[in-house]
Structure 1
Amino acid sequence: MPRILLFILITCYSSLLKANDIKSKRSIIFPKSEKINEYTTRIPFKLVDHLIVVEAQIHGQNGNFIIDTGSETMILNKVHFKNLYKHQKKDNQSFGVLEAIDNPYEKQVKDFVLQNFKLESLKSDVINLSHIEKSKKIKLLGIIGYSVLKDYEVFVDLYLNQITLSKVNKDGNKLDKKVYIEKIVDSLNFSLKNHTITLVGNINNKKVTFGLDTAAEFNQISKNLNKEILKYFTPKKRLTLIDASNNKKEVIAGKLHRVKLSETIYFGPMDTVLTNLRGINQAFGTDLDGVLGYEFFKQKRTIINYQKEKLYFINYPIQKH
């Protein structure tokens, strides 16, 4: 019998709706954030398995939020926000990677405060994330997605375990000109398909289109790709994949080799699962051949600029032995 290992793929899709909702005057605050100046703040995170998790306070509760570039909106965990009414129920469904998430709700968060950063009238989907909470053994208040992150340049640093958010203008230029002490050594253009960061690269010189997602615990590659590509995927074991809507399916896990995004940006072997990406592409309105997640950020200290549709990279320090 194959070895079974459960892991969570958090990626969610939330449709834009004109739903009724509740107005809340309370704020979301990150108590451990470090204010650099009026435009920039740093938030330490912990890795829960392969998920980037930040501590936060909302509506008098302390708990955790997952940082997820694959989620269109901010999502609150229904388990901790039960003051919902029928008029808040959304007219259509939100989507997880495998199937639709049933019975989503929408809640209005009046103020989102990040030190002196303030986002007003922020909509949040409310769905049941209790299975993720139980699996990861954390109090999960919700997920922070594209709708919050898009107005900032986002530095995801798995070396220092921190995220730096720096406010940008409509052209993507940082309002704070001196954010990074480290030197930016490379960059890469991407396309934004709805809210999905899309990268065009190759495996053994065969074109492959990837989505980039901070909450994908393992990379994914489509089992429908050309055999000339898939021969660089080395299978190791079977896993059970669980998405944000608690749907499960069995996949094959292994190592993916020879991933290259430009002449200078390439990767060593990455933990990857072989799966059907039809659900992701249907939900996201994309045509992805794969998803890059934790394994990408583990090898690349990455800055995301949504407005410029550009990634920037900072080297890991050279380890001295």
Structure 2
Amino acid sequence: MHRLCFILLFITLQLFSSNKKTAQLLSFPEAELINVNTTRIPFKLVDHLIVIEANLLDQTGNFIIDTGSETLILNKSHFKGRQSFHDQHEQTSGVLNIIDNPLERRLQEFIIKDLVIEDTFSDVIDLSHIEKSKKIHLLGIIGHDILKDYEIFVDMHLNQITLSKVDSKGHRLDKTKYLERIIDSVDFKLKKHTIILEAMVNGKKLKFGLDTAAEFNQLNKRANKTVFEQFFPKRRLQLLDASGNQLEVLAGKLYRVKLTDSIYFGPMHTILTDLSQMNTVFGTNLDGIFGYEFLKQQRTIINYKKEKLYFVEKPINRH
């Protein structure tokens, strides 16, 4: 019996111009305001997805944090019949297929506690298959267009995400230092909204995209054969992508992954898949994807403006 899993990564959404505005409020009731520029939001892991609770248009539900998504996405299942929705007759690319006819909403304000993001675009697609698979009330997905103006501290050890406002050069407006010690850092390249990291596997240099909503790491079937000497398959899985399509993949563990001589990772659960369609859509040449398995090993800070990842010391276990 194959296990049915869901993997959400690299949803591309196009932004369309609109002359209409509607004042909507999106707030996070669980957020802790540190100061006017920084807020901390607890999250829960639904399987391997980072999920936060939010209120929007008199509804309370869940949002997935997804660096692989370009925009804020609202779930069409819960936002029907709104006058500010416009059918764009365009296509939105999923990993395995195309999502037809996305809708669009423009939010005058997107508020995270007291941090206000103005004139926010969102796309509206049917995410009901994710709700069914994960058994959650899903209002939407928070992507790059919201996250890019913050330094994002993803802490899998304390199950919280900290957003700190940055200026145009990526410097934090909050001058207070992190309580936790930053132990290392690495540069990345930003291809549109995609974070691209270089890593070494078995002596071969590879390019990986970083996607906080990828439940498993991914390795391209077309990667160099030498790399597969460090991939040890264990079983086959059935995956459900953002378009609701199923695909059988080979799952196992990937060993000897290094970002630099000082930043390396233990064995990570990884699936073997074909990334050629995704690479075509995004104009990239990725050999794989880093997701939950990457983030659970390193407390990670993402700074889009500086194109840099910072790694934070793990909390001391006092028990």
**Range of TM-score over shorter length:** over 0.9
Give the whole-Å Cα distance in 1 for the aligned partners of 2:227 and 2:71. Answer: 33
Aligned to 2:312: 314
Residue 218 of structure 1 deviates from its aligned partner by 0.3
Aligned to 1:62: 60
Distance 1:243 1:22, change over 3 A: farther
Distance 1:96 1:179, change over 3 A: farther
2:112 equivalent to 1:134: no
1:185 is aligned, of 183, 186, 196, to: 183
Correspondence list, 1:152-301, <5 A: 152-301=150-299
Residue 77 of structure 1 deviates from its aligned partner by 0.3
Residue 17 of structure 1 deviates from its aligned partner by 3.5
Residue 226 of structure 1 deviates from its aligned partner by 1.7
Deviations 1:6-64 (A, max 9, x none): 22222243343435475321210000100000100000000000000000000000000
Give the whole-Å Cα distance in 2 for the aligned partners of 1:126 and 1:173. Answer: 32
Distance 1:102 1:85, change over 3 A: farther
Aligned to 2:95: 97
Contact 1:189 1:309 in 2 (8 A): yes
Correspondence list, 1:111-130, <5 A: 111-130=109-128
Give the whole-Å Cα distance in 1 for the aligned partners of 2:262 and 2:10. Answer: 31
Structure 1: which amino acid aligns with 2:128? S
Distance 1:204 1:170, change over 3 A: same
Give the whole-Å Cα distance in 2 for the aligned partners of 1:20 and 1:10. Answer: 28
Contact 1:185 1:315 in 2 (8 A): yes
Unaligned runs of 5+ in 1: none
Aligned to 1:36: 34
Q: Percent identity?
A: 57
Give the whole-Å Cα distance in 2 for the aligned partners of 1:87 and 1:35. Answer: 32
Structure 2: which amino acid aligns with 1:34? E
Deviates more, 1:79-88 or 1:301-310: 79-88
Give the whole-Å Cα distance in 1 for the aligned partners of 2:154 and 2:207. Answer: 22
CA RMSD, Structure 1 to Structure 2 (Å): 1.6
SS at match of 1:163: strand
SS at match of 1:216: coil
**TM-score when scaled to structure 2?**
0.96
Contact 2:15 2:121 in 1 (8 A): no
Distance 1:151 1:177, change over 3 A: same
**TM-score when scaled to structure 1?**
0.96
Deviates more, 1:160-169 or 1:81-90: 81-90
